[in-house]
């Protein structure tokens, strides 16, 4: 039988322990503080978000070509084909760089197959898709069968999220200065989603944090394909709020498997502390 491995990247926000359990290597994106560009950020959780609250600016960049070649070569030298599930191409050049690495290595290993897929997902939306891919692989499907499954399933991955402070979206170019200022004064909390193309897209506005969280739950109730499927919640130093959302999903909307995870620095640099994001499989494609 064809022997292959799934590889993803740190844009998935899957914990190292989960990746190890699934046997999935991860290619890291880069995060650094603007005032220390040569030093990679090692802080996580509250420590990282407290730095942002204190006014520090975090910057990010994709992995370089050599890192992809190094990670892919490990699998190829072990006689394994590769299915790489990439962070959304609308948010990063990880997909494009991985394709270049795959093309170069295909010439060096012509007997091996390297498939690179743009998940068009972010954070634990990508993580959930990787999780589903691992579950599907465990059933014994071939690489090509799994690739076809992912190419279809990625359009059913629902991303709904809200942020606590609009200033970080403004810095990232997601909101202009006027709307960010007015929203902050009025206590407006935007609810955003990820489009068919994998782009962050404002969807609605809610007055206050509580209403924004309830809006996420309502989207789950209206769009979820199957309450038995896994659901992921990502939080940026907002564990209590994430637990509240989990309770609503399970007690009021019948969700069976809800996992709370941490929004990592790569995405948290652009959304700031306080983000709550909900990821699940929808009934209809995005």
Query: Which pLDDT score is estimated for 202?
Result: 85
Rounded distance between C-alpha atoms, residue 3 and residue 80, angstroms: 5
Instruction: Kindly report the pTM of this predicted structure.
Output: 0.93
Same domain, 127 and 168: no
Domain-terminating residue out of 155, 172, 199: 155
Question: What is the secondary structure of 43-89 as a DSSP string?
Answer: --HHHHHHHHHTT--EEEEPPPHHHHHHHHHHHHHTT-EEEEEE--T
Tally Cβ neighbours within 10 Å of residue 61: 13
Residue 183 has pLDDT above 90, yes or no: no
Query: Which pLDDT score is estimated for 176?
Result: 64
Rounded distance between C-alpha atoms, residue 27 and residue 62, angstroms: 9
Domain-terminating residue out of 123, 155, 187: 155
Rounded distance between C-alpha atoms, residue 238 and residue 236, angstroms: 5
Same domain, 18 and 131: yes
Q: Which domain holds residue 238?
A: 156-281
Residue whose pair of structure tokens reads 């955003």 in the numeric block = 192
The domain total for the chain is 2
- pLDDT tens, residue by residue, 14-32: 999 999 999 999 999 999 9
**Residue 47 domain-assigned (yes or no):** no
Same domain, 276 and 143: no
The average confidence (pLDDT) of the chain is: 93
**Residue 53 domain-assigned (yes or no):** no
Domain-terminating residue out of 136, 155, 174: 155
Residue 219, domain CATH: 3.30.1180.10
Same domain, 254 and 272: yes
What stretches of the chain adopt beta strand conformation (E)?
Answer: 4-9, 26-27, 30-33, 58-61, 81-86, 114-118, 157-162, 188-194, 200-207, 230-235, 257-262, 276-281
Asked if 239 and 260 touch (Cβ cutoff 8 Å), the reply is yes
Of all helices (H) and strands (E), which one includes residue 98? Answer: helix 94-108
Residue 137, domain CATH: 3.40.50.10440
Asked if 55 and 37 touch (Cβ cutoff 8 Å), the reply is no
């Amino acid at each position: 039988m064809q022997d292959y491995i799934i590889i993803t990247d740190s844009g998935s926000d899957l914990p190292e322990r989960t990746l190890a359990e699934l046997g999935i290597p991860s290619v890291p994106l880069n995060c650094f503080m603007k005032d220390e560009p040569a030093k990679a950020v090692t802080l996580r959780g509250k420590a990282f978000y407290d730095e942002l609250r204190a006014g520090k600016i975090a910057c990010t960049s994709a992995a370089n070509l050599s890192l992809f070649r190094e990670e892919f070569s490990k699998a190829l030298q072990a006689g394994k084909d590769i299915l790489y599930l990439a962070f959304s191409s609308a948010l990063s050049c990880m997909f494009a760089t991985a394709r270049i690495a795959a093309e170069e290595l295909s010439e060096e290993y012509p007997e091996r197959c390297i498939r690179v897929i743009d998940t068009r997902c972010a954070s634990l939306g990508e993580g959930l898709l990787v999780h589903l891919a691992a579950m599907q692989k465990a059933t014994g499907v071939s690489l090509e069968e799994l690739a076809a499954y992912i190419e279809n399933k990625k359009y059913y991955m629902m991303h709904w999220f809200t942020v606590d402070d609009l200033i970080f979206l403004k810095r990232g170019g997601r909101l202009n200065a006027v709307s960010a200022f007015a929203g902050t004064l009025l206590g407006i909390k935007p609810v955003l989603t990820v489009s068919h193309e994998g782009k962050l897209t404002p969807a609605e506005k809610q007055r206050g944090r509580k209403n924004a969280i309830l809006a996420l739950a309502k989207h789950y109730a209206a769009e979820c394909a199957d309450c038995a499927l896994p659901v992921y919640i990502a939080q940026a130093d907002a564990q209590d709020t994430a637990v509240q959302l989990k309770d609503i999903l399970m007690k009021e909307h019948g969700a069976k498997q809800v996992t709370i995870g941490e929004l990592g620095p790569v995405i948290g640099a652009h959304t700031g502390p306080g983000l709550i994001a909900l990821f699940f499989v929808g009934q209809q494609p995005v």
